[in-house]
Amino acid sequence: MSTQSKIEHSLNDLIEIARDGKDFYTEAAGKVKDPELSGLFTRIAGVKSDIVTRLSAVVAAAGGKPAEHGTMVGSMQQFYGKVRAALGDTNYGYVAELEESEDRLLKAFQETLTDADTPAAARVEAQDLLPRVRECHDVMRNRKHALKMAS
């Protein structure tokens, strides 16, 4: 496998999962009634958008084709979030699903970094973005726990 296709393979999964998150956060920001939560979702959607842009640039610079869509799992998760929100606690329903989305992205980043086949260019970019991924994950995990305690 060429370095180009290894970079494409390594980073396109991350691009797809980050795009899932961006789309889901954007949708959730428009659905929740709490302005503070909506603002948080919008801010994190922006972080996901930055991740997609930066990783896509690395794939393109290597001569590859950046992923242009999200994942099937992400679509199902978004659907489940809508159903859950429609059935009751909108804030908790969205936060719980978004936290799962954060778990997926963090796990994918960690797998990319521990995979011996990940090319250096992909590893450097993933390592550079990891603190932002971890921060979003922790914010949503803490928010989920706080909402659970409050109910």
Q: pLDDT by residue (tens digit) across 80-119?
A: 666 666 666 678 888 888 898 899 999 999 999 999 989 9
Domain chopping of the chain, boundaries:
3-150
Indicate the pLDDT class of residue 78, thresholds 50, 70 and 90: low
Burial 74-86 (b: 16+ CB within 10 A, else e): beebbeebbebbe
**Structure pTM?**
0.88
Locate 84 and state its tokens: 């859950």
Q: 142 burial class (0-12, 13-18, 19+ CB within 10 angstroms)?
A: exposed
C-beta separation of 27 from 116 below 8 A: no
CATH of region 3-150, choose from 2.70.98.60, 3.40.190.10, 2.60.15.10, 1.20.1260.10? 1.20.1260.10
Q: Which of 16-20, 68-72, 131-135 comes out lowest in average pLDDT?
A: 68-72
